[in-house]
Amino acid sequence: MKIKLVSYAESERDIRHIRDTVFGQEQKIPRELDWDGNDRDCLHVVATDKEGNTIGTGRIQADGKIGRLAVLKHWRSRGVGARMLEALVESARSRGLEKVYLHAQAHAVPYYVKSGFEKEGDEFIEVGIRHVNMMRRTQATPEREA
């Protein structure tokens, strides 16, 4: 598996395929809610298998908001999402951002906690799905270095 940071223009077709499959077909999120017009202003990550097929994607906005993290069903629970997430966090760190945040689907909160994110606030509904705001500092803290 290969993880690569890309522009939207560079990988639009692959990004659209993954998100249309995961968010559109599987989660039934209306296309107009997923495709919010912000992609061109984001840094994206794509994961590919050994044959070069795209198997996952995600993005980070300039303010540190991570979103649209999606992995094809067959590739879930194999570390694809975690590696893409770390690449996005590292990109924020290298740009000097002190923290990143995301809106986690409620069922995925434990996954993000394992990746160092902390819940902030109460659940809310976004695109018809329960979500929780979560935050992670990009710099290592003394407690985490041990």
Structure confidence by residue, pLDDT tens digits, 34-80: 899 999 999 999 999 999 999 999 999 999 999 999 999 999 999 99
What's the pLDDT at 33? Answer: 87
Q: Selecting from 3.40.50.300, 3.30.70.100, 3.40.630.30, 3.30.470.20, what CATH number does the domain 2-145 have?
A: 3.40.630.30
What's the pLDDT at 139? Answer: 82
Kindly report each contact of residues 116-119 with a partner whose C-beta sits within 8 Å and lies 24 or more positions away, as own/partner: 116/144
Confidence of residue 112 (pLDDT cuts 50, 70, 90): very high
pLDDT > 90 in the chain, percent: 90
Identify which of 64, 84, 71 has the alpha carbon closest to the alpha carbon of residue 134.
64
What are the domain boundaries of the chain?
A: 2-145
Q: Is the distance from CB of 131 to CB of 106 less than 8 angstroms?
A: yes
Average pLDDT, the chain: 93
Confidence of residue 140 (pLDDT cuts 50, 70, 90): low
**Measured at the alpha carbon of residue 129, what is the angle toward residues 108 and 29, in degrees to the nearest 5?**
105
pLDDT > 70 in the chain, percent: 95
Q: Please give the single-letter amino acid code of residue 17.
A: H
The gap from C-alpha 28 to its chain's centroid, in whole angstroms, comes to 18
What does the pLDDT average to over 138-142?
66
Identify which of 103, 84, 86 has the alpha carbon closest to the alpha carbon of residue 94.
86
Tokens representing 112 are 């993000």
Tokens representing 43 are 């840094």
Task: Report the length, in residues, of the chain.
Answer: 146
What's the pLDDT at 42? Answer: 97
